Structure 1
Amino acid sequence: MIESPLVSTDWLYKNLSNSNVIILEATVFLESSSDGPKITSGEEAYKKSHIPKALFADLLKDFSDPDAPYPFTALPHKDFVRKARTFGVNNSSTVVIYDRGSSAGNEIHASDWASRLWWQFRLSGHEQVYVLAGGWKKWTEEEKPVTAELHTPQETGTFQGSYRSELYATEKEVEQAITDSSILLMNCLSKADFHGQTNNYPRKGHIPGSENVFFGDVSSKESGSLPSSEILRQIFERTGALDPEKKVITYCGGGIAATWNALVLASLGRKEVAVYDGSLLEWMDQPDNPLEK
């Protein structure tokens, strides 16, 4: 098993013919408009050109709970397992996920749509799941092969999984974290969002006691991957997130960027970081839930 939560483009290129490797594209496009953020599936872009053997995993339709009040809410475990099987996933499969850019725009080099699906696979007990370092951008810049041919799984998978509740944080657990020094809350949004200096959310500020590590600061423009472990340790050590005695809960606006920080922490050995799935969308929905700037 690969120890890092990321695989390189060279590794994937060498393993394109490996029948045990399942490649998933998880692209979503998030655009600003006069009516607010516009979210669209990346399926049309995928159909035009994608990595050979890749299947399109639609985070909007396939891997979000349609009955939940917030977009991108994780599927219930049984539904996730059932859906993963349709992509040919077995317990022994190596799953590699990529996307075409960050939820925060091209200036950010984190593959947080891919990490969102990475987290859901881990939540349902699949450990051999990885994000492609540098994603589609790095793959195409290196002129590695692409195709418009649509791939279909040869057969339905037999993935069973086992739900890992420790990777999922609820609103109640976040409430507890505010007064519990053994739990660290990590806000993964920009410093401006953290301090309530933007109009990106209906209420301003962050959950009391939170540390701030912007997910864009823990991705690397040069490599399309991660900064060095030394740089990452310096960033996270000041927050206490590397203290093995502390439980870490990451959150953001809607549970996307938070999964990137969970992935980065996993690369440093903190593999049981929980993600607050509802994040600020859920927290701010309750007027009595406190915020500070």
Structure 2
Amino acid sequence: MSDAPRHVSVEWLHEHLSDPTLRVLDATVHLTFDEDGAHVEPGRETYERGHVPGAAFVDQVASLSDPEGEAPFAAVASDRFAAVIGEAGVGDDNRVVVYDSVNGIWATRLWWQFGLEGSDNVSVLDGGLAAWQAAGYETTTGNETYPPTTFTARRRPERISHTADVERAVDDPGVLLVNALDRDAFAAGHIPGSVNVPFGELVGPDGRMRPLDELRGLFESVGALDPGKQPVTYCGGGIAATAAALALMELGREDVAVYDGSMNAWTADPSRPVGTA
């Protein structure tokens, strides 16, 4: 099957929902912060209250995060990913559309994990569930599933960076670290030498990705499209970083990698330097 576009519109999805080879996956996760820190909750209840008709739910927290990894959301090993995705009903010949009902970055996280494991037949629903509902399309309640099948994972190690790689990258003029957190968070603490392209600036008020010429301006302004530098995106926990990676790939940077552990892993050792302002 040929590669899928990285984004599809809600109109496209509505038109193709009856395609028996299509698999729609709800990737919603709720991440909140308070005085006790970060709290993560899988979005199954949100999914059950309303989702794109036919969509199955994938629990990225329990099923696709490695508890033994560098940081809380570390990508699972290839065989684990293949087992979870096959159980969700996605096989090697399926076309996949992923979305979430939050701010889009959990959909891009799942898109990125598919790409990490060699699958390019995956598209993000532009604007997510909010755009689907804004277009007047119906949602379904309860739980839906696809018949289990077999998914073959083919890991692309060049798509992922680990802390040891980033430690070397800090002093490597051929690598550019791109922080995808908001500007205040970046100013408060980032890996030295990083540039900042906040994930929230990659989308418009409706949650859809900005036109490519606008994205190009954002990334060009910080040198992230320089062919002499490999971009490596990161954030707090490796989620927002995948939105920046997707945007960079839309602009032709097929060489972009994601620092999976991001600031969670970087700051685990207090001896590692952190830049401010």
Match of 1:233 among 213, 216, 219: 216
Distance in 1 (alpha carbons) for counterparts of 2:235 and 2:166: 13
Distance 1:271 1:157 in 2: 29
Structure 2, unmatched stretches of 5+, are none
Report the secondary structure of 2:11's partner residue. helix
In structure 1, the partner of 2:106 is: 113
Aligned residues: 275
Give the secondary-structure state (helix, strand or coil) at the position aligned to 1:185. Answer: strand
Query: How far apart are 1:32 and its partner, in Å?
Result: 2.9
The alpha-carbon deviation at position 65 of structure 1 amounts to: 1.1
Equivalent AA in structure 2 for residue 113 of structure 1: W
- Write the deviation string for residues 30-58 of structure 1: whole angstroms up to 9, x where unpaired: 22333222221110111122111100001
Unaligned runs of 5+ in 1: 103-110, 197-204
Q: Distance in 2 between matches of 1:91 and 1:3?
A: 13
| Cα RMSD, aligned residues only | 1.4
Query: In structure 1, the residue corresponding to 2:82 is in which secondary structure?
Result: helix
Distance in structure 2 (CA, Å) of the matches to 1:6 and 1:134: 10
Amino acid at match of 1:86: E
Match of residue 273 from structure 1:
256
1:77 is aligned to 78
Q: Residue 246 of structure 2 corresponds to which residue in structure 1? A: 263
- In structure 2, the residue matched to 1:20 is 21
Displacement, 1:19? 1.3
Matched, 1:130 2:114: no
Task: Please say if 1:190 is aligned against 2:182.
Answer: yes
CA–CA separation in structure 1 for the residues paired with 2:217 and 2:142: 44
How far 1:3 moved relative to its partner?
5.7
| 1:142 correspondence with 2:135 | yes
Alignment partner, residue 236 of structure 2: 253
Q: Is the 8 A contact 2:117 2:155 kept in 1?
A: yes
Output one character per residue of 1:219-245: Cα deviation in whole Å (capped at 9) or x when no partner.
1114x3211111111111122221233
Partner of 2:157: 165
- Please tell me whether residue 291 in structure 1 is matched to residue 274 in structure 2: yes
Quick one: distance in 1 between partners of 2:133 and 2:179?
32
Aligned-partner residue type, residue 226 of structure 2: D
Q: Kindly provide the amino acid, as one letter, of the partner of residue 115 in structure 1.
A: T
Q: Percent sequence identity over matched residues?
A: 41
Most deviating of 6-15 and 62-71: 62-71
Task: Render the CA deviation track for 1:202-231: whole Å, top value 9, x for unaligned.
Answer: xxx211110111111111114x32111111
2:190 alignment partner, SS class: coil
Question: How far off its partner does 1:263 sit?
Answer: 0.8
Given the alignment of the two structures, is residue 215 of structure 1 paired with residue 208 of structure 2, yes or no? no
1:151-203 alpha-carbon deviations (Å, 9 max, x no partner): 2222x22221210001000111111111111111001111111111xxxxxxx
The structural deviation recorded for 1:88 is: 1.5
Using the TM superposition, give the Cα deviation of residue 126 of structure 1 relative to its aligned residue in structure 2, in angstroms. Answer: 0.6
Greater Cα shift, 91-100 or 31-40: 31-40
- Counterpart position of 1:54: 55
**C-alpha separation in 2, matches of 1:194 and 1:82:** 36
Q: Is the 8 A contact 1:208 1:292 kept in 2?
A: yes
SS of the aligned residue for 2:258 comes to strand
Q: TM-score normalised to the size of structure 1?
A: 0.90
Superposed CA offset, 1:67-104 (max 9, x none): 335221111111111111111211121111110112xx
Contact 1:188 1:261 in 2 (8 A): yes
Contact 1:4 1:267 in 2 (8 A): no
